[in-house]
Structure 1
Amino acid sequence: MSASALNPRTTTYEFLGPPGAFLISLGVPICTYALYFGCSEQTGGCPPPLAVSRISAALSDPAWWKGLWDTQAALMYLAWYTFCVVAWAILPGDHVQGTTLRTGVKKTYKINAFSTFLLALGLTVGTITRYGPQSFTFLYEKFVGFITASLIMSIVQAVACYASSFRPGALLALGGNSGNPIYDFYIGRELNPFSFGAFDLKTFNELRPGLILWFLTDISMVCEQATRRGGFSQVTDSLWLVLFFQGLYVSDALYNEPGIFTQMDITTDGFGFMLSVGDLCWLPFVYCLQARYLVFTPIELGVVPSALIVLCNFAGYYIFRTANGEKNDFRNGKNPKNLEFFTTESGSKLLTSGWWGLSRHPNYFGDLLMALAWSLPTGYTTPITYFYITYFTVLLIHRQRRDDEMCEKKYGKDWKKYQKLVPYRIIPYVY
């Protein structure tokens, strides 16, 4: 197959094309910093007193810009990323195959993300046990420095991947070969850049450095509050709930690592700045917002509110896990629940009963319920701590629309028939 046939030119844009890609590439780092400075005890609250003159003075002060850099934090972050790579290499793990590529081959991946998580967690708990909670507060204390370090890593990887994608024989993403450098840099030009044997940079970043660091950052928040309040017994129930909920989510994702190989990020999207900054910077340092807020705004919920929030989270988790279980079983040729399905003219089969008969993306519905449960422990005094569920709702609706567009191109008129059988997109009987 010729290079032009294997890597056809991208003729349609997402995210409003190059202007949108440019604005998002600037907006994501700015928003990450803004969420810190806009919800921080260092700046005076969540949000701090708004004064345009204060913002203008800060941005025009070279000392403020220098304060975004922390050499210690940068070295720590580099050590953390190195630890993840070494753990991938030396820890045992199964080898599984991904989906068939356009070249007709299947990539083989080594999976040991959960083992890496357990090792990191064991070292963290051992450190805290031996030296006390104050020994693990550095992620809270050097938060801005870690944001900067992860952002630099994101940019370096995105630039390297974009440059590498021009080598002969590179398999490009169907959506990332537009010829516009701004758009292709953002969306990801090569499907699997820096892929050597069982190592693949895209899948490695998807689950390891950022996802595990998110939970370790939550632990650092608990340690910071414990240090301030006189021990772990004095940590508020709200912060324990956030740690538990997000820890469960991270553990589930890492334990079910093979499930990512059928996701759009892996099968369709290239690896560019969109995924690098999302995996390495946005995920660990934005998703911990609720835990970080509760450090300096301790909230005691009580038994009944806590129980209701737990119920919300586990309802979401049950839907998320059982829906994904139905999908993964069906894709692997199993149907233990005897679920009904619709067969397209191409021979593909689409579930039309169980959770997948209630909506086309029931796992997203579970995700949204969990996101709500993570925000509820922060109370109702500020809307900023509800940023995650607001952003996540927009993200999942956009992802659902992308998926629907792809399925309509793939299945044609059969997709219209399927939409009549399963009319709801995410939330049954609502949307």
Structure 2
Amino acid sequence: MSSSQQQPGASAPAKQQQQGPATTDSRPRDDVAYEDVTDNNFVYEFGGPIGAASMIVGFPLLMAYQFLCVYDNNGHFLLPDSLGDFLPWASRMAARYWEIAAPSWTGAKIYLGFTFFMVGLAYVCPGPVMYGYKLPSLNGQRLAYHCNALWSWWVAIITSLVLHFTGLFRLTQIIDNLGPIMSVAMLWSFVLASIVYGITVVRGKKHRASGNVIYDFFMGVCLNPRVGTLDLKLFTELRIPWPVLFFISLSCALKQYEQLGYVTPESAFMVLAHWLYSNACNKGEECVITSWDIFYELESWYLLFWNLAGVPFSYCYTSIYLLKNGPMHFPIWWNVLCYVLLLAGYFFWDTGNSQRNRFRMYWNNTLIKRNAFPQLPMSFIHDAKFLQTRHGNKLLIDGWYAYARKPHYTADLVMALTWGLIAGFGSFFPYFYLTFFLIVLVHRVGRDDARCARKYGADWEEYMRVVPWKFVPYIY
């Protein structure tokens, strides 16, 4: 057998048996294997330079088009009358977008004000200091992460509510200025990506670079950009996209209250859904340190664009659609079904992510206990079964991961489905998130399988034999 099956504390080597949960200021053991972030087997992804250039141009145009459809046309497609009318139609669309969504000082003050407020909180809020994997690119050094996103999240919520109810800043201004805010966010992602790319090139610290400027700008060349104690990649992964998405949905609900005198169950659903997602990301920040995005992905245009602009301003279509077309008058059983599916999906998603990441933290000797709401049962597997690889890493085959290799993705897609179902079937745009996310996850699983096959060899083949299903047992 190419890999051995072991359990923490049972048949592990003696040195491993001595490890235990670390305190918040303890450094992890040094006997954990290096995490391979160099990956010398370079291959073009996303269609190479042509694909990268197409997405750098295409994604902002797609977001602008969808904004006009959802915000300005009540969720209905805007199409030219004929193929010959395409250029005049595109010109009219561009003029209309500039009319209602051109960058403005108000949009800049709202978006950049929130961004730098969160940056300030990242430096001053309390939270444990955690350590990531040993990185070959840093000669085995472990980077420290100040995990205070949870405090920042709650301070941001309380501050925003105080500003709203005192009238200093009404949260409804977010939806009233959504177009300009989105345009500022897109421009800011280009500016920040250019700064990161430029500084990295000047310093001669490029990672996994192809030599093609457009492709390298798209994929990134900087692995661990930092400003003092602030890790830019972890910050932009958690503290901007999901909180901004939540505040957009909250703004829609408050605007609906101003218009109708109440908030519909559907709009309340989206506030709950986006609160759960954002809260989970921030309360589990220490778990994200060992995720693919943080230890392997480079800080790139595509990560910055989607974290700073794409996620909050294209995953919010359901909330905008419900505001523009509500109240929906669905039967009670339909709304109950959506709420039940959402909460069930959330349970498996939250516990699945927790099982996987806390398993890594346990063996990295960085596992801590945090009193963050909500703490769900089955979030940590004691004496978890795993496959030991010759590379040194351990592959979890217990809990939800005994049934599929990516069960947290499946639960994530269930939640994404409910974000569409709660709006009914009158428009495609509430299902854009589900459609886009499905494509992203299938592509990501393919990338992950290819990288792990190169990294683990026969051990990965054994792992796929033990856990053959990717998303759903006996189906896919």
Give TM-score, length-normalised by structure 1.
0.91
Question: How many angstroms apart in 2 are the aligned matches of 1:182 and 1:270?
Answer: 15
For residue 160 of structure 1, the aligned residue among 192, 195, 217 is: 195
Matches within 5 A, 1:298-317: 298=326, 299-317=328-346
For residue 453 of structure 2, the aligned residue among 408, 419, 429 is: 408
Q: Cα RMSD between the aligned structures?
A: 2.2
For residue 237 of structure 2, the aligned residue among 196, 199, 206 is: 206
How far does residue 168 in structure 1 lie from its aligned partner after superposition? Answer: 3.7
> Is the aligned partner of 1:181 residue 2:213?
yes
**Correspondence for 1:104:** 140
How far does residue 216 in structure 1 lie from its aligned partner after superposition? Answer: 0.9
| CA deviation string 1:44-99 (max 9, x = no partner) | 33215533457334146498368522221112222111111111122222211111
How far does residue 243 in structure 1 lie from its aligned partner after superposition? Answer: 0.8
For residue 88 of structure 1, the aligned residue among 105, 115, 122 is: 122
> Is the aligned partner of 1:297 residue 2:325?
yes
**Correspondence for 2:384:** 339
Question: How many angstroms apart in 2 are the aligned matches of 1:285 and 1:67?
Answer: 12
How far does residue 135 in structure 1 lie from its aligned partner after superposition? Answer: 2.4
**Correspondence for 1:423:** 468
Give the conservation status (yes or no) of the 8 Å contact 1:39–1:46: yes
Question: How many angstroms apart in 2 are the aligned matches of 1:154 and 1:328?
Answer: 28
Matches within 5 A, 1:317-396: 317-333=346-362, 336-396=381-441
**Runs (5+) with no aligned partner, structure 1:** 1-5
Give the conservation status (yes or no) of the 8 Å contact 1:238–1:300: no
**Correspondence for 2:255:** 224
How far does residue 199 in structure 1 lie from its aligned partner after superposition? Answer: 1.2
Give the 3-state SS of the residue equivalent to 2:362 in structure 1. coil
Amino acid at match of 2:67: Y
> Is the aligned partner of 1:19 residue 2:50?
yes
> Is the aligned partner of 1:287 residue 2:315?
yes
**Correspondence for 1:238:** 266
CA distance 1:128–1:8, change in 2 (3 Å): closer
Question: How many angstroms apart in 2 are the aligned matches of 1:13 and 1:322?
Answer: 34
How far does residue 167 in structure 1 lie from its aligned partner after superposition? Answer: 3.3
Amino acid at match of 1:413: A
Give TM-score, length-normalised by structure 2.
0.82
Question: How many angstroms apart in 1 are the aligned matches of 2:39 and 2:273?
Answer: 43
Give the 3-state SS of the residue equivalent to 2:181 in structure 1. helix
Amino acid at match of 1:120: A
Give the conservation status (yes or no) of the 8 Å contact 1:109–1:198: yes
Question: How many angstroms apart in 1 are the aligned matches of 2:90 and 2:392?
Answer: 60
For residue 29 of structure 1, the aligned residue among 60, 66, 70 is: 60
Question: How many angstroms apart in 1 are the aligned matches of 2:98 and 2:240?
Answer: 28
For residue 263 of structure 1, the aligned residue among 291, 305, 310 is: 291
> Is the aligned partner of 1:75 residue 2:120?
no
Question: How many angstroms apart in 2 are the aligned matches of 1:423 and 1:362?
Answer: 12
Amino acid at match of 1:58: R
How far does residue 277 in structure 1 lie from its aligned partner after superposition? Answer: 0.4
| CA deviation string 1:201-247 (max 9, x = no partner) | 111111112221111111111111111112xxx21111101111111
Give the 3-state SS of the residue equivalent to 1:12 in structure 2. coil
Give the conservation status (yes or no) of the 8 Å contact 2:135–2:142: yes
Question: How many angstroms apart in 1 are the aligned matches of 2:97 and 2:248?
Answer: 26
Give the conservation status (yes or no) of the 8 Å contact 2:100–2:179: no
Percent identity for Structure 1 against Structure 2: 29
**Correspondence for 1:3:** none
**Correspondence for 2:8:** none
Give the 3-state SS of the residue equivalent to 2:129 in structure 1. strand
Question: How many angstroms apart in 2 are the aligned matches of 1:9 and 1:344?
Answer: 20
| CA deviation string 1:152-199 (max 9, x = no partner) | 1100111111111123462x333xx11110110001111012x13321
Higher normalized contact order (CA 8 Å, seq sep 6+, divided by chain length): 2
Question: How many angstroms apart in 1 are the aligned matches of 2:161 and 2:441?
Answer: 34
**Runs (5+) with no aligned partner, structure 2:** 1-36, 364-379
Question: How many angstroms apart in 2 are the aligned matches of 1:115 and 1:131?
Answer: 24
Greater Cα shift, 301-310 or 215-224: 301-310
> Is the aligned partner of 1:122 residue 2:122?
no
Question: How many angstroms apart in 2 are the aligned matches of 1:336 and 1:69?
Answer: 49
**Correspondence for 1:135:** 170
CA distance 1:367–1:267, change in 2 (3 Å): same
Question: How many angstroms apart in 2 are the aligned matches of 1:159 and 1:388?
Answer: 27
| CA deviation string 1:325-349 (max 9, x = no partner) | 2212321337744433222233432
Question: How many angstroms apart in 2 are the aligned matches of 1:407 and 1:7?
Answer: 13
Question: How many angstroms apart in 1 are the aligned matches of 2:78 and 2:210?
Answer: 44
Give the conservation status (yes or no) of the 8 Å contact 1:341–1:349: yes
Question: How many angstroms apart in 1 are the aligned matches of 2:430 and 2:96?
Answer: 30
Give the 3-state SS of the residue equivalent to 1:47 in structure 2. coil
CA distance 1:120–1:17, change in 2 (3 Å): same
Amino acid at match of 1:159: S
| CA deviation string 1:79-135 (max 9, x = no partner) | 111111111122222211111111210111111111111111112222333339x92
CA distance 1:59–1:325, change in 2 (3 Å): closer
For residue 197 of structure 1, the aligned residue among 228, 233, 258 is: 228
Greater share of residues in helix: 1
Give the 3-state SS of the residue equivalent to 1:191 in structure 2. coil
Amino acid at match of 2:322: L
Question: How many angstroms apart in 1 are the aligned matches of 2:275 and 2:457?
Answer: 41
